[in-house]
Amino acid sequence: MADRITCTKCGRSRPEPEFFKLKTGHRDDICKDCLTMYIDNRKPETFTWILEKFDVPYIEKKWVQLCNETYKKNPGSFGPKSVIGRYLRAMNMVQYKQYTYADSDKLNFADKKQQQESEAAIAAAKEKEEELKAKLERGEITEAQYNTLSAGTASSNTTPEFEIPNALPQYQIDESVITDSLTDDDIQFLMLKWGTVYTPSQWIAMETMYKRYSNEYELNVDREEVLKKMCKTSLKMDEALDTGDVNGYKSLATVFDQLRKSGKFTEAQNKEDKQRYLDSIGELIALCEREGGPIEQLPDPDEYPQDKIDFTIRDLKSYTYGLVTNELGLGDLIESYIEKLEKAEEEGDIDLDRGLITSSEELAADALSDDEAEEFQMFLENEIEKDAEKLLESIGEG
């Protein structure tokens, strides 16, 4: 088992490989995460002090070259500690091992001088090339002579330009501010939950996403592990998208989608869980024992329908109320019917008190006994009374 070292900045005990090795063979007293936290690979002032501490030269040309190579290899994972480790290993190679940080100016000056000489040679070759072309056009030399005397394009030995995106200092996060706002218990909790390779701002981002999902879905052990991996994947997706790594983003998005489906963190699953809130008396009892207190009262179904039955009842009540209050012809029809009944009573055709037909023509047509007619009339009166009561109830409820 590898020996462990306690970082003098964060106070965490970590394996030896998590600390850079000095020229003396000993390990540094600050872990890699803390040492490189504020490095901006485009700004030498953010990392030359580290090179001075490790007593290795700062060679601008070599640093820019490693920056570009590292960024092209994996833009999504490019960050503060992406280059420093490769650079320190490069300085242990034979051609650089003899130099120290004090040799930085001398080496960069030599590179600048070589660059100037290279640029002068290119300019001279270009001028000579133009003269040969002019002679060829005037017919002073043949094409064979031109091809022989032409030196071609001279190679450039200039310092490469940065190919990584420009940094935006105004949007950079001061990790120390976030760390200061956390208690020791908070830091220990987040470190154990999310790991030690992330910055405090990344801890907070993943923890925020974790709480949003945990408030929306019920978690068990398996689901919790899937959710943690989803949070880490989402963080890497954002980094890939911000750095323009489209292919990396697509791969991570596929993984994220698979995790969501395997953990059932989809909208369809959320709806299914809500629909299965209480399926039996046993679940109701378990809910009461788990939550305690009174059972939740559902809202008034008339004002807030919950299912198709509630909607149907509300629609029928609304239709009946509208029919009675807004259908103007219905009132006239009822009044007309009442007038006809009163007129028939005055003429002696019917008796409203008994409800019997007294017209001789009607009696002749329906030869019913008095008892049968009275029984039938009572049945009609009961039915009319029931219908009237239902109508009044619907109007009153509306």
Cα–Cα distance, 208 to 202 (Å, whole number): 10
Assess whether pLDDT exceeds 70 at residue 155.
no
pLDDT in tens, 308-360: 888 888 888 887 777 766 665 666 677 777 788 788 777 765 655 555 544 55
Whether the Cβ atoms of residue 107 and residue 57 lie closer than 8 Å to each other: yes
The helix/strand/coil state of 27 is strand
Query: The tokens of 197 are what?
Result: 């390779």
In the chain, where do the E strands start and end?
A: 4-6, 13-15, 350-351, 356-357
On whether the CB atoms of residues 49 and 84 are closer than 8 A, the answer is no
Cα Rg of the chain, angstroms: 45
User: Of 79, 86, 87, whose CA–CA distance to 36 is shortest?
Assistant: 79
Residue 54 pLDDT exceeds 90: yes
Q: How far is CA 11 from CA 7, 148, 159, 188, 331, in A?
A: 5, 69, 40, 11, 88
Question: Rounded to whole angstroms, how far apart are CA atoms 6 and 13?
Answer: 4
Question: Region 213-226: what's the mean pLDDT?
Answer: 88
Nearest of 40, 60, 64, 66 to residue 104 by alpha carbon = 60
pLDDT reading at 21 higher than 80: yes
Residue whose C-alpha is closest to residue 4's, from 24, 25, 34, 27: 27
Residue 304 confidence (pLDDT)? 75
Q: What pLDDT, in 10s, does the model give residues 188-211? A: 899 889 988 888 888 999 999 999
Cα 319–Cα 321–Cα 327 angle in degrees, nearest 5:
85
pLDDT of residue 153: 52
Of the listed ranges 130-144, 332-346, 364-378, the least confidently predicted one is 364-378
**Cα–Cα distance measured from residue 58 to residue 66, given in angstroms and rounded to the nearest whole number:** 12
- Residue 280 φ then ψ, to 5°: -155, 170
Query: What SS3 state is found at 357?
Result: strand
**Residue 108 buriedness (CB in 10 A; 0-12 / 13-18 / 19+):** middle
Side-chain-facing half-sphere of 95: CA atoms under 13 Å: 4
Predicted confidence (pLDDT) at residue 174 exceeds the cutoff of 90: no
User: Quick count: other Cβ atoms within 10 Å of Cβ 63?
Assistant: 23
Instruction: Write out pLDDT tens, residues 75-96.
Output: 767 888 889 999 999 998 888 8
Q: How far apart are CA 289 and CA 378, in angstroms?
A: 57
This prediction has a pTM of: 0.41
Separation of alpha carbons 363 and 355, rounded Å: 14
pLDDT in tens, 248-299: 888 899 999 999 988 888 776 665 555 555 567 777 777 777 777 666 677 7
List of residues 6+ apart from 35 with CB closer than 8 A = 9, 20, 28, 50, 81
How many angstroms separate the Cα of 314 from the Cα of each of 97, 258, 398? 86, 43, 9
Task: Specify the pLDDT at position 268.
Answer: 66
C-alpha–C-alpha distance, residues 352 and 344, integer Å: 9
Q: Which two tokens stand for residue 340?
A: 């006809």
Does residue 228 have a pLDDT over 90?
A: yes
pLDDT at 339: 82
Predicted pLDDT of residue 157: 55
pLDDT of 123 above 90: no
